[in-house]
Structure 1
């Protein structure tokens, strides 16, 4: 064997990062709920096709490919079942991976936006509006089902990042700005029975949040404000919490959101930012992907903790403390800037 024959081919070197067939096949399997249909044991492809309204031959080819990739198993010809990997696609799996991969929901739609990545790289503009016809936030506003899927997806994402690293002593009222359906607010309120909260988000989202918090018997300790966070916020709370919000926005609108928080907080209140650690230094590799993802979707960006200092300053705030938590997120505690 020559030295060239012993070296990996160009195809072998690029295969792990160039394949589109397998990622799309996994998403189709998740969307069809194939793992759920196999929960009781192996199923023949004809039965699976009938129950999913798909073409049996095409579905067979899809499952055969995924089986070769280690997703699903074929114990006998034409009969497929789940394995440890395919079980991750079940609707009841705690990882919630099906939610993230479902092409009919926000998770899968988010990934399809990457078909417009060339537009983003050429122009610096989000691909979403090119792929789907309208800017990201306008698209969600016009599609209630997709907006609800977005809320559900985010409720299991960084909105539920633990904020136990923050000192809540002395805090009696927290406003969760852009708080979705209230998953993080529920976590905060659950840790202190004397704490009150206000959920701020768009009206439809807040309506879902009211139901979510009522199911947890927390709505009696909450107020609800269905509005844009670019408008004046409910004033006078001790803490204004922004979790997974600012990375959705470029610097100018992110500063505008912080300014609204600063106005509402006044001299006595604080503004707490919860975000990914960033994209430089010791940041986790996932942040580099998220940085690109936020640009493609809505023109946002991931930031290093130091990047928040000038944004806070422009909004009339100063950073009082920065700390990281085991999940890889950073908590940035801000207060009204002292007069110079």
Structure 2
């Protein structure tokens, strides 16, 4: 296993230090909003440009088109979070602040939390009890978020797709040689989303044929993606409600591909999907599952981000899914009649590829 066990709590702390950490949790939403606004209003960019000399409150007020009072509120909270320091009345960006101001990973995650998750998470407790995404009503009237992805209100729509693609796009180029290692003639993309992966496959091999499975509203987007790339003639768009366990998958597939997909379902539904995938495999075919497992990460930063994405799945996405440990998929695959052939870690930002064959 490439990833190492995560030990978030294995830290020696005094009682005073532990109490401080507890209060950081209590005020975390406040800190998030203040730092987010400071970044959005350009205060952190201004400090990044000022370097070690820093800026005083009037200069920051001018940069952010805010009052000195507003700057004080934002900067003092940023100070408490270690985002800035203060020297002789001037504010200076810290190393943490540098990542907040410049790291695209922070921007992607923070926009996702603010625009997609923040309001809906108020209904987390009720969602956990009922195992339904009761916070989704903050965005729209759907049973799951997947039914409304292409019609999400802005800025939630942009932030959702930026979040999804930022993680998946980093893995696709590295993974294509493994997808084509067995020279497949047929590939099925389950949960095809916008069709970006299918487009890559069809462009890579002019002989391959692709089947895309998803809800009709998502396939409409994928159709446009493939048509623009002039590869639609080798694609079959198969509309399906994947929650319907009686709906079979088209048979004769050399490769069945699922990327950041199974985590969108409960373990019972994962088993159903894998059983139907097993039935759709051609002789010698493979099921390839690309996903982000928090237990297979080399760094706690990645594991932290993944673990704390799970409440989004509960409150807004489906009500009963999460970011799983890898063994959950492996066990479900075994029960579905599939055997784990290979695991590859360290793909893209935080992905692992599970390769299964018929048992």
Corresponding position of 2:108: 99
Q: Which has the higher contact order (CA 8 A, sep 6+)?
A: 2
Whether 1:63 and 2:75 are equivalent positions in the alignment is: yes
Provide the C-alpha distance between the structure 1 equivalents of 2:25 and 2:328, rounded to a whole number of angstroms.
30
Specify which of 307, 323, 335 is matched with residue 343 of structure 2. 323
DSSP-derived class of the 2:16 partner: coil
Structure 1 residue 156 displacement after superposition: 0.8
Structure 1 residue 331 displacement after superposition: 2.7
Corresponding position of 1:117: 124
Specify which of 27, 40, 44 is matched with residue 19 of structure 1. 27
Provide the C-alpha distance between the structure 2 equivalents of 1:295 and 1:75, rounded to a whole number of angstroms.
44
Structure 1 pair 148–212 and aligned structure 2 pair: CA distance change class (3 A): farther
Structure 1 residue 155 displacement after superposition: 0.6
Corresponding position of 1:168: 180
Gaps of 5+ in 2: 1-13
Structure 1 pair 62–132 and aligned structure 2 pair: CA distance change class (3 A): same
TM value normalised by structure 1: 0.69
Kindly report which structure 2 residues correspond to 1:45-194, keeping only aligned pairs within 5 A, or say none: 45-50=60-65, 57-72=69-84, 84-89=95-100, 93=102, 95-102=104-111, 108-126=115-133, 128-129=135-136, 134=141, 135-137=143-145, 138=147, 140=149, 142-143=151-152, 145=154, 146-158=156-168, 160-161=170-171, 162-163=174-175, 166=178, 168-169=180-181, 170-185=183-198
Provide the C-alpha distance between the structure 1 equivalents of 2:130 and 2:299, rounded to a whole number of angstroms.
27
Structure 1 pair 196–96 and aligned structure 2 pair: CA distance change class (3 A): farther
Q: CA RMSD in A?
A: 4.5
Structure 1 pair 22–207 and aligned structure 2 pair: CA distance change class (3 A): same
Corresponding position of 1:300: 321
Provide the C-alpha distance between the structure 1 equivalents of 2:118 and 2:41, rounded to a whole number of angstroms.
17
Corresponding position of 2:270: 254
Specify which of 55, 59, 64 is matched with residue 44 of structure 1. 59
DSSP-derived class of the 2:194 partner: coil
Report the count of equivalent residues: 322
Contact 1:277 1:303 in 2 (8 A): yes
Contact 1:160 1:187 in 2 (8 A): no
Structure 1 residue 269 displacement after superposition: 3.3
Structure 1 pair 167–81 and aligned structure 2 pair: CA distance change class (3 A): same
Structure 1 residue 242 displacement after superposition: 0.7
Structure 1 residue 238 displacement after superposition: 1.7
Specify which of 214, 239, 248 is matched with residue 227 of structure 1. 239
Corresponding position of 1:241: 257
TM value normalised by structure 2: 0.66
DSSP-derived class of the 2:288 partner: strand
Structure 1 residue 14 displacement after superposition: 1.9
Provide the C-alpha distance between the structure 2 equivalents of 1:164 and 1:305, rounded to a whole number of angstroms.
21
DSSP-derived class of the 2:269 partner: helix
Provide the C-alpha distance between the structure 2 equivalents of 1:283 and 1:76, rounded to a whole number of angstroms.
37
Cα deviation digits, residues 237-289 of structure 1 (max 9, x gap): 42111111111111233234334434443445332122233659x99744544
DSSP-derived class of the 1:70 partner: coil
Contact 2:194 2:221 in 1 (8 A): yes
Cα deviation digits, residues 34-62 of structure 1 (max 9, x gap): 55677766683444454xxx777435411
Contact 1:175 1:239 in 2 (8 A): yes
Contact 1:277 1:283 in 2 (8 A): no
DSSP-derived class of the 1:325 partner: strand
Cα deviation digits, residues 185-228 of structure 1 (max 9, x gap): 5666787777564554445545555666788x684796363734
Provide the C-alpha distance between the structure 2 equivalents of 1:189 and 1:94, rounded to a whole number of angstroms.
33
Bigger share in helix: 2
Provide the C-alpha distance between the structure 1 equivalents of 2:92 and 2:235, rounded to a whole number of angstroms.
48
